[in-house]
Amino acid sequence: MTTMSAFEAKTHFGDLLEQVAHGREIVITRYDKPVARIVPEGWRDHREVLAVVDGLAALRQRITRRLGEKATLTDAEVRDAIEAGRE
52 shares its domain with 75: yes
Are 34 and 47 in a shared domain?
A: no
SS (H, E, C) 43-59: HHHHHHHHHHHHHHHHH
Q: For residues 37 and 43, what is the distance between their CA atoms, to the nearest angstrom?
A: 13
pLDDT at residue 41, rounded to an integer: 81
What are phi and psi for residue 10, nearest 5 degrees? Answer: -65, -40
User: 8 pLDDT exceeds 90?
Assistant: yes
Please answer whether residues 26 and 4 qualify as being in contact, where contact means their C-beta atoms are separated by less than 8 angstroms.
yes
Q: Would the pLDDT of 49 be above 80?
A: no
Averaged pLDDT, 54-83:
78
Same domain (yes/no): 81, 49? yes
Instruction: Return the pLDDT at 31.
Output: 94
Q: Which residue has the higher pLDDT, 53 or 47?
A: 53
Q: What is the pTM of this model?
A: 0.49
Average pLDDT over the chain reads: 83
Domain span including residue 68: 43-86
One domain, residues 60 and 81: yes
Q: What is the pLDDT of residue 43?
A: 63
- Contacts of residue 15, defined as CB under 8 A and 6 or more positions apart, other chains included, come to none
Q: Which is nearest to 38 in space by CA: 15, 20, 22?
A: 20
Domain count, the chain: 2
